Structure 1
Amino acid sequence: MRSPALLAISLVLLSGCGGPSQDVTRASTLDRIVSTKVLRVGMNPGYAPFEMVDTGGNLIGFDVDVAHYLAGQMGNGVRVEVQKSDWDPIIANLNAGKFDLIISGMTRTPQRALRCEFTDPYFETGQALLVNRAKWKPSARLTVRDFDQPGVIVATKLGTTGEIAARKAFQKATIKTMETESDAALEVDAGRADVMVYDKPYIAIRAQESPQRTFAILEPFTKEYLAIAVRKGDTELRDWLNLTIFELKTSGTWDSLYQTWFVRMPWLERVKRPTS
């Protein structure tokens, strides 16, 4: 039986044959990927457990496995070629043609949608808090509001929805932006910041790594949806990705990946980061 994803490629490509393309370069991205057998994926490694480098120098993570799943569904021996990018220019690099799409724990927002197109969500998350134990005592009564006061330092990663959420939620506190999520977490570990704002999965894992110095408040105070980004007008690729994301979720593959990266977490020993 022919794979639904392979059939989807045929249908998506055939749908563009009824008339002249308005943008040949963008409209042919999916066709080029299949013909060259290379899927170029933009990522910003460091966001555990979505994309990170293990102690052997290998790129691993939930998003990495999703990328390989997509390539596998394309068939024809298509392989993944990850192009690493700093976070701030990652959409600009996509639009410059440095890669075909972005799979990097990216929340789809109206602001970003002005510069690229997003697929249907493949992951739901929200912002949570990593708190310094020396400065704050764990309590079920602690809420976001408790940290919104003068003298409190809130760390987060520059240019992320974490920064946006932090600036909205903490009007009285001092916001301290860092280049990476690891740098922001280290600020809390070392006591240079009271709290870190970032996506719930990262906060949960980071709190497990330094339980003597930090604790997590995991009830999200925002709701966000991670999606794959493609260039404006790349509708054939976007439509195929939407079909394949649906298959990923309904085939049991998504659940298996979630168990590996968020529940059983056998990878933790392979990714040891500094905690001070």
Structure 2
Amino acid sequence: MRPTLRAAALAATALLALTACSSSGDDAAADAAGELTLVNPGTLTVCTNPPFEPFEFEDENGEIVGLDIDITREVADDLGVDLEVVVTPFDTLESGASLTTDACDILASGLTITDERAEKFDFSEPYFDADQGLLVAEGSGIDDVESLAGKKIAVQMATTGETWVEDEGLTPVQYEDLGLQINALRTGQVDAVVNDIAVLGPFITEGLEVAATFPTGEQYGLGVKKGNTALLEAVDATLDRIREDGTYDAIYTERIGTAPTAD
């Protein structure tokens, strides 16, 4: 843990106040000086890809909400800036393109920390443990890897779920987002859905069931543009702070439905 978490966040805020320009040249100079820079001064911009409930999804008012949004709002609050949510395709998140094109400051979309992704952008400390889950029609008899052989399995493109299906030698069918995966299962286009277990619970309705969990040891992290060390440190300071003051437990319990398991 960091010895002075609130101090770190306040120091980042002070640096932000000194950084009032947003041109690429000025940003590069600021990065080199170790100052915190944002693509839109005064606003922390986060890229995400709903629907991925409970991490990011649209509520009844059309607002994007969820666990990832709650956490990034805590970062924005610690920095003393506004929060703006930008919806982008998942492949532009996973590839880091949303950061390199300055579409946003932070990636927050249930991103599993992997070595390949870490070559494209920097990850925060882990904030969520995640395994893969299997969603099928009730009574399908599909409940393990063996019974998935020869079946069409909906996967979200560019995700670790897709990688898992491919590594098991199974047949993936790509979809752009979780909502399209679920629709494909409901309409009989595929036999099963594989995605992170935490996002499958809301769909246990209309004859669907979570039939298995596949432990993978995955952890989610927030993504930050390489070289933006000051922002990354501010993000990690907020993650440490919300773990220590109980805010993370409250967010987790509200969004997941149960309290987080103690480490």
TM-score range, shorter chain: 0.7 to 0.9
- Structure 1 position 217, deviation (Å): 2.7
* Identity across the alignment (%): 26
- Structure 1 position 179, deviation (Å): 1.1
2:141 matched residue in structure 1: 136
Q: For residue 214 of structure 1, what is the amino acid of its counterpart?
A: L
Distance 1:23 1:34, change over 3 A: closer
1:269 matched residue in structure 2: none
2:127 matched residue in structure 1: 122
Separation (CA, whole Å) in 1 of partners of 2:52 and 2:161: 12
Separation (CA, whole Å) in 1 of partners of 2:32 and 2:104: 15
2:166 matched residue in structure 1: 167
1:271 matched residue in structure 2: none
Render the CA deviation track for 1:217-262: whole Å, top value 9, x for unaligned: 3433312110010111111211221122111112111111111111
1:82 matched residue in structure 2: 85
Contact 2:12–2:36 at 8 Å: present in 1 too? no
1:157 matched residue in structure 2: 156
- Structure 1 position 167, deviation (Å): 0.8
1:18 matched residue in structure 2: none
Distance 1:31 1:239, change over 3 A: closer
Distance 1:178 1:54, change over 3 A: same
Give the one of 102, 110, 134 matched to 1:97: 102
Matched, 1:41 2:46: yes
SS of equivalent residue, structure 2 residue 214: coil
Matched ranges for 1:1-276 at <5 A: 5-9=5-9, 11=11, 23-27=28-32, 31-33=36-38, 36-75=41-80, 78-90=81-93, 91-133=96-138, 135-136=140-141, 142-147=143-148, 149-150=149-150, 152-169=151-168, 171=169, 173-207=170-204, 210=205, 212-263=206-257
Separation (CA, whole Å) in 2 of partners of 1:191 and 1:160: 22
Separation (CA, whole Å) in 2 of partners of 1:199 and 1:28: 39
Q: For residue 81 of structure 1, what is the amino acid of its counterpart?
A: E
Q: CA RMSD in A?
A: 2.6
Separation (CA, whole Å) in 1 of partners of 2:211 and 2:34: 42
- TM-score, normalised to structure 1, is 0.80
Gaps of 5+ in 2: 16-26, 259-263
Contact 1:6–1:74 at 8 Å: present in 2 too? no
- TM-score, normalised to structure 2, is 0.83
SS of equivalent residue, structure 2 residue 201: helix
Aligned residues: 243
SS of equivalent residue, structure 1 residue 49: coil
SS of equivalent residue, structure 1 residue 41: strand
Contact 1:203–1:218 at 8 Å: present in 2 too? no
Gaps of 5+ in 1: 16-21, 265-276
- Structure 1 position 131, deviation (Å): 1.1
- Structure 1 position 71, deviation (Å): 1.1
Separation (CA, whole Å) in 2 of partners of 1:29 and 1:190: 52
